[in-house]
């Protein structure tokens, strides 16, 4: 099993201001999204920096797996591209990782995902492209 770190995703409460900060102040090129999209990716070189509204990520990761108070929700998610989400998911599950969501297609995103947590509780997403979005 080989993982490739592809994104660092910040789960932000103030999406528009965060987007403008990374685009206008830090001058990262925008690969996807805008100040109103709720999700954006910036080209930082080798690893993409993603911004995602916390509320939108909370729709993907069940609230039972989230802290009950909004301020304590995840602030970052590590995103790894893999060749086969189902295979990696099974390996993670077999090693008794804390599974958050099983593999599922997300056609709107153009990817298949699964989520789990590291031993410290950090949210991790694995994904592979579905081949429907460029």
Q: Within 10 Å of residue 87's Cβ, how many Cβ atoms?
A: 14
* CA separation for the pair 54, 36 (Å, rounded): 14
Would you state the pLDDT for residue 2?
Answer: 87
Mean pLDDT for back-to-back runs of 10 residues, the chain (134 residues): 89 91 90 95 90 84 57 79 95 89 94 90 91 64
- pLDDT at residue 96, as a whole number: 84
Q: What pLDDT, on a 0 to 100 scale, did the predictor assign at position 72?
A: 61
Q: Give CA–CA dist 109/11, Å, rounded.
A: 17
Enumerate the H helices of the chain as residue ranges. 15-20, 54-60, 85-94
Would you state the torsion angle of the CA atoms of residues 107, 117, 28, 53, taken in this order, to the nearest 10 degrees?
Answer: 60
Please give the order of strands across the beta sheet that includes 76-81: 29-32, 39-43, 48-53, 4-12, 76-81, 123-129, 111-117, 98-106
Show the domains of the chain with their CATH numbers: 4-129 (3.10.180.10)
What pLDDT is attached to residue 71? 58
Q: Does residue 37 come out as left (phi exceeding 0), alpha (psi in the -120 to 50 range) or beta?
A: alpha
């Amino acid at each position: 099993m080989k993982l490739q770190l592809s994104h660092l995703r910040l789960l932000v409460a103030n999406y528009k201001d965060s987007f403008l900060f990374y685009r206008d102040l830090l001058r990262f090129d925008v690969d996807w999204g805008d100040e109103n999209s709720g999700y954006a990716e910036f080209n930082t070189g080798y690893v993409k920096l993603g911004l995602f509204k916390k509320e939108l990520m909370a729709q993907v990761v069940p609230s039972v797996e989230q802290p009950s108070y909004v301020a304590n929700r995840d602030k970052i998610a590590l995103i790894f591209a893999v060749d086969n989400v189902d295979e990696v998911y099974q390996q993670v599950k077999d090693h008794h990782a804390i599974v958050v969501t099983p593999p599922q297609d997300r056609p709107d995103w153009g990817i298949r995902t699964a989520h789990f947590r590291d031993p410290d509780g950090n949210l991790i997403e694995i994904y592979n492209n579905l081949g429907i979005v460029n």
